[in-house]
């Protein structure tokens, strides 16, 4: 069988099915295309130029798979009536920035509901009204490139990226075993069609991972109605289409769009329908693109299984508190404290005293710190018009290091006879920058290869595709992080240089102003 014809036939069946659903619309200038050649699966392109503000397609809410439409919710209403726990309320689907173990145990009810619904619907796929839709959805582990499905060897190519600790496979297993598998087994008569073999727990667990990953990369949050929800928009008026507190659902056709940091389509949520609209002109042959939010490439890879050069502007590097503490202990002069046995004790004591103060008591050091760029938001046409630049370290990080310098190096300041407030401030700033520089260098050293080596590998990939898709994406993530560290280092060195100049000018000003006598005599000789 011709592989691509099969792919196109499945796409066509899906489109035909979509067009026969009551209330749907699909603009005749659009087509579903095969983008596997560039690792992007199915996507949608414009056949001719499409004007801004054109309705591209409309999906009635009745066509969405959710608790409002699935038979499962009617057959087992008790599963869906459960009140949302206080700690789940408004956690929405926002799983940003959480570590793996918190990640899944806190999974909101809307995710759990949709996992159960999709298990039910996929078991009844043959008779389901969504059958042609299921045919275009990935249903095998091999269809996913999200980090959950990478081998340890593949993950090792991410080197020192914090993404490796954010996959959460163990906690996902636990959550599926505790909150999904027993429900399916206890209601096997409903979940499985008559005369079908039940899955073993091992098979169910694998299926849960597939469905969980499908939801992560395909599902939408269903806002009640855009008109009622104006206040949920961010400053630029962009509501990201995922990860908001609400019901989750699978939205046929909307999820056939790929996405990028620059995009040209937007999904609005009406009372009866969801409508995808062009937010600027889409030229013939151009891909129609949605927006997943300002995600760094590592996060894009974890959730969606791809990386994009346009998302590099949102790249981040995590710095753990342990790393900060190690550098502080290696860089600052820790004074002798008769009540502490070692320098490490003195440092710990100083940190405890500091974090007990009002200014720092709410700071959770164990969360670490995030380096990123000032990247701005896409404009109303979905374009990123400002250059993304590293402009500062996180305020809390700078503040805590400055405080520790002030407390730990007061003896150094005395030794240097720094009595004027401005001299002390300059000293603290300088030492803070020195610590920050050392932190960045240490973090850089954790990656096994340099940017140059990685660039060489990426060049090889570009010329002969030699390194493979997953290694290329891992390279994109780790190179992006290293470039950000490089920018942070350049910025820090430039600031240190500025302070050095200011210090020199400061001492020159002292000489010109009220110079110490001894020095003046010496200079005059």
Ligand X SMILES: C[S@@+](CC[C@H](N)C(=O)[O-])C[C@H]1O[C@@H](n2cnc3c(N)ncnc32)[C@H](O)[C@@H]1O
Return the HEC string of 324-352. Answer: HHHHHHHHCCCCCCCCCCCHHHHHHHHHH
Contact range with ligand X by CB under 6 A, out of 9-17, 253-261, 276-284, 492-500 = 253-261
Comparing CA positions, the residue from 265, 252, 253, 330 lying closest to residue 292 is 265
Task: Measure the CA–CA gap between 68 and 161, rounded to whole angstroms.
Answer: 40
Span from 76-84, 126-134, 237-245, 252-260 in contact with ligand X (CB under 6 A): 252-260
Nearer to ligand X, 259 or 401 (CB): 259
Which tokens go with 101?
């173990």
Residue placing its CB nearer to ligand X in the complex, 217 or 247: 217
Q: Which residues contact 277 (CB under 8 A, 6 or more apart)?
A: 53, 54, 55, 56, 265, 266, 267, 268
Among 306, 393, 427, 491, binds ligand X (CB under 6 A): 306
Is residue 218 a contact residue for ligand X (CB under 6 A)? yes
Q: Is 255 in the site for ligand X (CB under 6 A)?
A: yes
Using the structure block, give the residue that is written with the tokens 């659903």: 21
Nearer to ligand X, 132 or 305 (CB): 305
User: Looking at 30, 32, 43, 132, which residue binds ligand X (CB under 6 A)?
Assistant: 43
Are the beta carbons of 492 and 442 closer than 8 angstroms?
no
Which of 63, 400, 448 lies closest to 220, judged by CA?
63
- Rounded least distance, CB 307 to ligand X, Å: 8
C-beta of residue 302 within 8 angstroms of C-beta of residue 146: yes
Binder among 14, 15, 18, 42 for ligand X (CB under 6 A): 42
Q: Which is nearer to ligand X, 108 or 252 (CB)?
A: 252
- Characterize 472-489 residue by residue with b for buried, 16 or more Cβ atoms within 10 angstroms of its Cβ, and e for exposed: bbbbbbbbbbbbbbebbb
Neighbours of 127 (CB within 10 A): 7
- 249: contact with ligand X by CB under 6 A: no
Q: Give the nearest distance from C-beta 469 to ligand X in angstroms.
A: 10
| Residue 264 lies near ligand X (rule: CB under 6 A) | no
End-to-end, the C-alpha distance of the chain in Å comes to 96
Residue nearest to ligand X (CB): 41
Closest CB 312 distance from ligand X, rounded Å: 13
Q: Which of the ranges 47-55, 126-134, 305-313, 407-415 carries the binding residues for ligand X, by CB under 6 A?
A: 305-313
Q: Which of 112, 259, 371, 404 binds ligand X (CB under 6 A)?
A: 259
Does 246 help bind ligand X (rule: CB under 6 A)? Answer: no
Nearest one of 470, 464, 393 to 435, comparing CA atoms: 393
**Triad 371, 383, 270: Cα angle to 5°:** 105
In the shown chain, the binding pattern of residues 315 to 354 toward ligand X, with x for contact by CB under 6 A and - for none, equals ----------------------------------------
* Residue indicated by tokens 């003896």: 411
Reduce the DSSP state of residue 46 to 3 states and report it: strand
Cα(341)–Cα(352) distance, integer angstroms: 16
Within 13 Å, how many C-alpha atoms sit on residue 507's CB side?
9
Regarding beta strands 25-26 and 55-60, do their DSSP bridges make them parallel or antiparallel, or are they unpaired?
Answer: antiparallel
Closest to ligand X by CB, 80 vs 149, is 149
Stretch of 46-54, 241-249, 256-264, 384-392 lying at the interface with ligand X (CB under 6 A): 256-264
299 binds ligand X (CB under 6 A): no
Q: How far apart are CA 83 and CA 360, in angstroms?
A: 35
Using CB under 6 A as the binding rule, whether residue 10 contacts ligand X is answered as no
When asked if residue 135 is in the footprint of ligand X (CB under 6 A), the reply is no
Judged by CB under 6 A, the residue of 159, 217, 273, 350 near ligand X is 217
**40 in contact with ligand X (CB under 6 A):** yes
**Minimum CB distance to ligand X smaller for 159 or for 290:** 290
Pick the piece of the chain touching ligand X (CB under 6 A) from 50-58, 304-312, 320-328, 344-352.
Answer: 304-312
308 contacts ligand X (rule: CB under 6 A): yes
CB atoms within 10 A of CB 522: 9
**Could you list the residues that contact ligand X (CB under 6 A)?**
39-43, 217-218, 255-256, 258-260, 304-306, 308
């Amino acid at each position: 069988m011709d592989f691509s014809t099969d792919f196109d036939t499945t796409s066509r069946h899906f489109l035909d099915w979509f067009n026969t659903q009551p209330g749907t619309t699909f603009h005749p200038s659009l087509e579903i295309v095969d983008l596997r050649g560039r690792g992007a699966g199915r996507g949608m392109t414009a056949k001719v130029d499409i004007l801004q503000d054109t309705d591209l397609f409309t999906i009635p809410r009745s066509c969405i798979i959710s608790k409002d439409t699935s038979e499962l919710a009617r057959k087992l209403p008790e599963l869906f009536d459960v009140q949302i726990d206080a700690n789940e309320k408004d956690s929405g689907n926002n799983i940003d920035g959480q570590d793996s173990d918190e990640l899944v145990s806190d999974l909101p009810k809307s995710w759990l509901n949709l996992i159960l619904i999709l298990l039910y619907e996929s078991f009844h796929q043959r008779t389901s009204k969504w059958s042609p839709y299921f045919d275009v959805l990935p249903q095998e582990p091999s269809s996913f490139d999200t980090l959950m499905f990478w081998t340890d060897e593949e993950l090792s190519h991410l080197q020192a990226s914090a993404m490796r600790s954010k996959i959460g496979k163990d906690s996902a297993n636990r959550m599926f075993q505790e909150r999904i598998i027993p429900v399916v087994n206890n209601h096997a008569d409903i979940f499985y069609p008559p005369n079908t073999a039940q899955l073993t727990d091992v098979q169910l667990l694998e299926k849960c991972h597939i469905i969980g990953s499908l939801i992560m990369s395909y599902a939408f949050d269903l806002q009640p109605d855009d008109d009622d929800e104006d206040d949920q928009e961010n400053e630029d008026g962009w509501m990201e289409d995922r990860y908001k507190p609400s019901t989750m659902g699978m939205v046929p056709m909307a999820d056939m769009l790929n996405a990028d940091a620059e995009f040209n389509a937007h999904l609005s949520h009406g009372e009866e329908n969801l409508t995808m609209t062009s937010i600027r002109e889409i030229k013939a042959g151009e891909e129609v693109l949605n927006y997943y939010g300002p995600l760094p490439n590592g996060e894009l890879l974890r959730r969606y299984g791809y990386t994009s050069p346009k998302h590099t502007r949102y790249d981040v590097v995590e710095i753990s508190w342990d790393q900060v503490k190690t550098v502080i202990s290696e860089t600052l002069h820790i004074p002798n404290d008769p009540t502490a046995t070692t320098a490490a004790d003195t440092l710990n004591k100083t940190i405890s005293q500091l974090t007990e103060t009002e200014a720092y008591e709410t700071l959770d050091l164990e969360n670490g710190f995030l380096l990123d760029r000032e990247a701005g938001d896409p404009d109303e046409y979905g374009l990123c018009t400002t250059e993304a630049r590293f402009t500062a370290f996180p305020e809390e990080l700078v503040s805590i290091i400055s405080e520790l310098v002030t407390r730990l190096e007061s003896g150094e300041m005395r030794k240097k006879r720094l009595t004027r407030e401005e001299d002390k401030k300059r000293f603290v700033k300088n030492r803070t920058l020195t610590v920050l520089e050392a932190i960045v260098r240490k973090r850089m050293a954790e990656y096994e290869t340099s940017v140059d080596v990685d660039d060489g590998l990426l060049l090889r990939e570009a010329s002969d595709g030699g390194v493979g898709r997953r290694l290329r994406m891992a390279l994109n993530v780790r190179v992006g992080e290293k470039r950000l560290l490089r920018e942070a280092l350049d910025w820090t060195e430039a600031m240190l240089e500025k302070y050095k100049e200011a210090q020199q000018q400061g001492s020159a000003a002292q000489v010109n102003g009220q110079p110490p006598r001894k020095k003046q005599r010496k200079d005059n000789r």
